[in-house]
Amino acid sequence: MRVSKQSQQFARQLFRLSLAEGQVSPERVDGVLAHLAAHPPRQPLAVLRHYHRLIAVQLAKNRALVEHAGVINDGILRAIEATFTQKYRRPVGAAARPDPRLIAGLRIRIGDDVYESSVAAQLTTLSLSL
């Protein structure tokens, strides 16, 4: 479905209203959703989908998804949280997800940034350099 510029702009406006001190506020999101339910805009589905995307991107910035092969304990996750909270100067929570394709090591995703320290990635680099 083609999303009009007006719908995108409106979604962006709603997104800005959903932030409190640079973070997504659940209360404000509730308020925005209630407003949309009461006063549906033109192309409500498009607006909501775009709004959803913007919120998801913002939430991903505060979440470190730690993909790992092998065992990872809580201590490592807490250390990762502390390191990235300091680095990005915003609260970052860590969540683990096992991925045996990495062979060994970690891959951490925070928003658009990916920190790669896995054997699989090194082997890919090696195969490209040969």
Partner 1 sequence: MSTVIEQIEQQIALLSSKAVKKNTGTIRSVADGVAKVDGLSDVMYNEMVQFPGNAIGIALNLEEDEVGCVVLGDVAGLKEGDEVQTTGRLLSVPVGKMLLGRVVDALGRPLDGKGPIEAKESYPVEKIAPGIIVRKGVTQPVLTGIMAIDSMIPIGRGQRELIIGDRGTGKTTIAIDTIINQARINRLGLASKDPAFRPLYSIYVAVGQKQSNIARTIATLEAAGAMEYTVIVAAPAADNPANQYVAPYAGAAMGEWFMENNLDALIVYDDLSKHAVAYRQISLILKRPSGREAYPGDVFYLHSRLLERSARLAGKGSLTALPIIETLAGDVSAYIPTNVISITDGQIYLETDLFNQGVRPAVSVGLSVSRVGSSAQLKMTKQVAGKLKGELAQFRELAAFAQFGSDLDARTKAQLDRGSRIVELFKQPAFNPIPIEVQAAVLWAMQNNYFDPIDVKKIVDSANHLREFLTTRKSALLGSLREKAAIDDTLNAELKKALEEWKSSLAA
Query: Where does this chain bind partner 1 (CB under 8 A)?
Result: 12, 53-54, 57, 106, 108-109, 111-117, 121-122, 125-126, 129-130
Q: Which helix (H) or strand (E) holds 68?
A: strand 63-69
Closest to 73 measured CA to CA, from 43, 98, 46, 109: 98
Asked if 45 and 76 touch (Cβ cutoff 8 Å), the reply is no
Q: Which helix (H) or strand (E) holds 111?
A: none
Task: Give the nearest distance from C-beta 107 to partner 1 in angstroms.
Answer: 9
Task: For partner 1, give the closer residue by CB, 34 or 124.
Answer: 124
Task: For partner 1, give the closer residue by CB, 71 or 128.
Answer: 128
Task: For partner 1, give the closer residue by CB, 4 or 34.
Answer: 4
Task: Give the nearest distance from C-beta 57 to partner 1 in angstroms.
Answer: 7
DSSP state of 4: P
